[in-house]
Amino acid sequence: MNSQTLALPAAAPVRLPPRPGYWGMVGGRLRRDPVTVVFCLLMLAIVLAAVFAPLISPFDPYKESIIFRLKPFGYRGHPLGTDELGRDILARILYGGRSALLMGVGPVVFAGLVGGSLGVLAGYAGGWVGTLVMRTMDVFYAFPSVLLAVAISGAMGGGMLNGMIALALVFIPAVCRVAETATTQVRGLDFVEAARATGAGHLMIVRHHLLGNVLAPVLVYASSLVSVSILLASGLSFLGLGVRPPVPDWGLMLSTLRQAIYVQPWVCAVPGAAIFVTSMCFNLVSDGLRSAMDVRLR
């Protein structure tokens, strides 16, 4: 048999243009998904609004007014009305986005790094190392996440940084579990065994074969946690544990405005809507990311 007959099909699929590599492929797929594109843009708008709040905000978010308290939408140039101290709601929503996004993304990034590494370690090493790590995580996992966040940030005293640490600690076990499951799964696959059969060391196998395959599920899971984190952070602020007044924060606004629910119900709903829309953005983008990152799909 010569190499001529072995050469591959004349009918092979049409030659593809220069290939973009994995991330290029993911990006291309994301761009072809209208829902994800729309919510990505919305997310971008929210981020930009928070970053450039000082430039676009019509009012100073701290400026109080005894006369114009709890006014409705559109009252005297306040497009979203005013709160119980007469501060402009729109300005506070714009500024409040900063703490919301920080509290949403910060703990997740931290938990992703720590939990992800621990999970890969536990999954790859297995044996007693794996058991030790995972049982420790289980201890944290046993508490309801809200209670745990409240307890930790309560113990450390309120404040934004402590709130973020509390949330990160809540997320670490969950991320760790996802990373461990993915690692264990990938570790048993033939191509990892084939890599071992080439005499590769552990570090090399983890770097070339494990991380890439574990990254996708962890990234997708973490991106879905952002919305949870925003909600929990709002909850903490609502309970007086996260951001402290008078700093603008969506959860805090919800907490203070709730007493005015019968006076200006629509105004009170604004911070809630902001939380809802932002967390939904992250959720839907996370969904889009998940399908785009699945290499097996076409």
Partner 1 sequence: MTGAAPLAELDDLRVQFGAGPDAVQAVRGVSLHVMPGEVLCLLGESGSGKSVSMRALLRLLPPQARVTGGVQVEGQEVGRLSGRALRALRGGTAAMVFQEPMTALDPVYTVGQQIAESVQQHRGGTRAAARARALEVLDLVRVPDAARRLDAYPHELSGGLRQRVVIAMALACRPRLLLADEPTTALDATVQIQILVLLRGLQRELGMGMVLVTHDLGVAAEVSDRVAVMYAGQIVEQGPVRDVLRRPVHPYTRGLLASVVRADGVEAPGIPGSPPDLRRPPPGCAFAARCPAAVGACSAAVPAEQKVGPGRTARCVRVGESVAA
Partner 2 sequence: MPDRGGPAQPMLIAAGLRKHFPIPGGGAVRAVDGVSFSVAKGETLGVVGESGCGKSTLARLLLHLVRPDAGELVFDGEAVGAPRGITLKELRRQAQMVFQDSASSLNPRMPARDSVAFGPRVLGRGPAQAAAEADEALRRVGLDPMQFGPRYPHELSGGQKQRVNIARALALQPRLVILDEAVSALDKSVEAQVLSLLARLKRELGLTYVFISHDLAVVRHVSDRVLVMYLGSVAESGPADDVFARPLHPYTRVLLASRLSMDPDRRVEQAPIVGDPPSPANPPSGCRFRTRCPHAEPVCADRVPSPGSWDGHQAACHMVHPGSGHSAAALAA
Task: Tell me which residue has tokens 């949403």.
Answer: 104
Task: Pick the closer one to partner 1 by CB: 13 or 199.
Answer: 13
Report the residue number, 12 or 66, with the smaller CB distance to partner 2.
Answer: 12
Residue 6 touching partner 1 (CB under 8 A):
yes
- C-alpha distances in Å from residue 192, one per residue of 91, 197, 199: 54, 9, 11
- Choose which of 189, 261, 273, 277 interacts with partner 2 (CB under 8 A): 189
The 14-53 contact track toward partner 1, x by CB under 8 A, reads x---------------------------------------
Check binding of 204 to partner 2 (CB under 8 A). Answer: yes
Q: Verify binding: residue 14, partner 2, rule CB under 8 A.
A: no
- Would you say 282 and 230 are in contact if contact means Cβ atoms under 8 Å apart? yes
Q: Which does 11 bind (CB under 5 to 8 A by kind): partner 2, partner 1, none?
A: partner 1
Contacting partner 2 (CB under 8 A), which of 45, 54, 135, 191? 191
- In the bound state with partner 2, the residue whose beta carbon lies nearer, of 43 and 195, is 195
Q: CB burial class (10 A; 0-12, 13-18, 19+) of residue 252?
A: buried
DSSP labels, 79-145:
TT-B-TTS-BHHHHHHHHHHHHHHHHHHHHHHHHHHHHHHHHHHHHH-HHHHHHHHHHHHHHHTS-H
What distance lies between CA 277 and its chain's CA centroid? 14
From partner 1, partner 2, none, interface partner of 295 (C-beta below 5 to 8 A by class)? partner 2
CB 264 within 8 A of CB 81: yes
Residue 239 near residue 251 (C-beta atoms within 8 A)? no
Contact of residue 66 among partner 2, partner 1, none (CB under 5-8 Å per partner type): none
Token pair 């640490």 is found at 165
Per-residue x/- marks for partner 1, 259-298, CB under 8 A?
---------------------------------------x
In Å, the largest CA–CA distance within the chain is 94
CA distance 168 to 148: 11
Query: Quick one: 205 or 274, whose CB is closer to partner 2?
Result: 205
Per the structure block, which two tokens stand in for 37?
A: 């594109």
Q: What are the structure tokens assigned to 248, written together?
A: 């603008």
Instruction: For partner 2, give the closer residue by CB, 14 or 139.
Output: 14
Q: Given the rule CB under 8 A, which of 6-14, 21-29, 203-211, 241-249 is the region that contacts partner 1?
A: 6-14
Binding residues vs partner 2 (CB under 8 A): 1, 3, 6-8, 12-13, 15, 19, 22, 189-191, 193-201, 204, 208-209, 212-213, 295-296, 298
Binding residues vs partner 1 (CB under 8 A): 1, 5-6, 8-14, 298
